[in-house]
Amino acid sequence: MRWIALALLCAAGLFVGCEKKSSTPTAQMPGQPAQHVFPTSAQSKLQTIRLWMGSEELETELALTPIQSETGMMFRTNMPENTAMLFVFPRPFRASFWMKNTILPLSAAYIDPDGIIQEIHDLQPQDTNAVTAGSNNILYVLEVNQGWFQRHHIATGTLIRSEYGSLHETFTKRRP
């Protein structure tokens, strides 16, 4: 009888040890809080939407989830001229972007909840120094090839619209 009880106890221990691991990887030292693990490869092309700034049109990927936003343009090796990535956040904040694992030189527009560009910054490849917004009222960030805004005469104060209307209308209704 003892052998049966011991065999059942061992089987139960093996079953508990096969628990599915979390899909979110973390690095953790015993007694230390979990540390974040950064993406290690480019993400697949994201859902797209068309954006306009005056007569200028961009085919724009949407970074809507935290992991999509965190990965952004990391590890990508090209970006066609009239394409972009729009980061959509749940509420306005003081945006801060860096270029860890990003090899393409980019420009980023920090955009308020009304869809108006408040700031434009050039971001350098692999630069891990954050570029922080001067305002705590940024709801969207639009990344394009470096110099795109200048080449297309887009400046602060420019209104951005989507194929569904204003950015506010587009993302409060979650149409795309």
pTM of the model: 0.76
Give the pLDDT of residue 7: 38
Q: Which residue ranges make up each domain of the chain? A: 48-172
The three-state (H, E, C) secondary structure of the chain, written as one string: CHHHHHHHHHHHHHHHHCCCCCCCCEECCCCCCCEECCCCCCCCCCCEEEEEECCEEEEEEEECCHHHHHHCCCCCCCCCCCEEEEEEEEEEECCEECCCCCCCCEEEEEECCCCEEEEEEEECCCCCCCEECCCCCEEEEEEEECCHHHHCCCCCCCECEECCEEHHHHHHCCCC
Of all residues in the chain, the percent with pLDDT exceeding 90 is 64
Give the pLDDT of residue 37: 62
Architecture of domain 48-172: Sandwich (2.60)
Q: pLDDT tens for residues 109-128?
A: 999 999 999 999 999 999 99
More confident: 175 or 22: 175
